[in-house]
Every structure is written in structure tokens, then in C-alpha cells.
Structure 1
């Protein structure tokens, strides 16, 4: 069980790093004095900011804490639910490449999705081991 939780914690950290790199890649045009604003008004929708904060930081940190500190079935179940949510978010986020193709994101988003799939697989294994005890 320890091997699953260590890998799960590492994958949560990799997803957080990937999402941070995704954001950084979106901001790189600033170095060439190019606009990066989605909305020309400069107003950021608060609900979008909250959603991105929850999905890119809070959800992975809760999953990471479950893997590192909650060793019972409860931790495995919470982690599995969070892994499913993260996989769905990353799948839908990757599908945005079909609508507005960004070559820089082509190297980041598929890797995050792959790590999300591996996270879900190990989360399922951890849940099965925890449920059998």
C-alpha cells in the first residue's frame, strides 16, 4: 500500500507542476509584448478564478494530503473521487486544443492527462487494497 500512496503523491505533485507550467506557457507572450488577456476589458471573472484555483491547487493538495496522511479506506475513497474529478477536468481541458490550437500547450496538456490516467489507476489499486482490509 505504501508504494501506491508514494506514487499517488508524486503524481499529484506532477499534475500541480504541469498546471503551473500550463499557466506559465500562456503568459510567455508577455516577454514579446504580446497581449495575453482573454477579455479586452481586463476584468477577470471571479467564478473562473475560483474554479481554476480549486482545480489547479486545492483539489491536488487535498489528494496529496490524503495520500500522505490518511491511510484508511476514507483516504482512499476521497483520493479516488478527486482523481476522477481531476481526470475529467484534464480531459475537457485538453479538448480545448481542438477549438483553439496552441502549439505550446501540445507538449503540456497531453502529459498532464497521461499523469491523470496513471493517478486514477493507482488510486483504484489503493482503494481496492484499502477496501479489502
Structure 2
């Protein structure tokens, strides 16, 4: 059981790292003097920034804390509830490759999706292991 919880915590950390690398890869053209600005309005969309903060940091950290510190079926259920939306987000985020193809993201986004799938699979196994039948 502890091995599975450690794997789950590691996958949450890998998702956070993958999303951070996704952002960093978008900023790489700055090193060659290329512009990376998306819009000319001068204002950041606050709703989008808040959503990305929640999905890129808060949700994975809460999932990681559930895996490491919340025991029994409560931790398993909370972790599974958090892992499913993360999987859906990463699945829909993969569409970025089709709308604005970036070869650098081709190595990042599918890997984050794969880790999300494995996270849901291990979370489901954890939930089944601690749920009385």
C-alpha cells in the first residue's frame, strides 16, 4: 500500500513538473530575441490565470498531500476525485497540439497525459484496496 501511495505522490509531482516545463517551453523563444506575447490588450485574463494556478499547482499539491497524509478510504476517495479532473484537463489540454502545433510541446503534453492516466489507474486501485466490499 505504501508503495502505491508513493507512486501516486510521485505522479502528482511529475504532473506539476510537466505543466511547469510546458510553460517554460513556451518562453524559450525569448532566448533568441523572439516575441512570446499573445495579445496586445496589455491585461492578463485573470480567470485564466486563476484556473491555471489551481490546475497547475493547487490541485496537484492537494492530491499529493492526500496521498501522503490522509489515511484510509478518505484519502483514496479524495485523491481519486482530484485525479479525474486532472486527467480531463490534461486530455483537453492536449488539443493545444492540434490548434497551434509546437514541436517542443509534442514531447511534454503527451507525457503529462500518460502520467495522468497512470495516476487515475493507481488512484482507482488504491480506492478499491481500501473500500470494504
TM-score (norm 2): 0.97
Aligned partner of 1:24 in structure 2 is 24
The equivalent residue for 1:67 is 67
Q: Which runs of 5+ in 2 are unaligned?
A: none
Number of aligned residue pairs: 133
Superposed CA RMSD in Å reads 1.0
Q: Which moved more, 1:71-80 or 1:48-57?
A: 71-80
Query: Per-residue deviation at 1:18?
Result: 0.5
Aligned to 1:125: 125
Partner of 1:57: 57
Q: Which runs of 4+ in 1 moved over 4 A?
A: none
2:106 is the counterpart of 1:113: no
Q: Secondary structure in 1 aligned to 2:131?
A: helix
C-alpha separation in 1, matches of 2:114 and 2:72: 26
Cα displacement (A) at 1:41: 2.1
CA distance in 2, matches of 1:109, 1:51: 18
Give the TM-score normalised by structure 1: 0.97
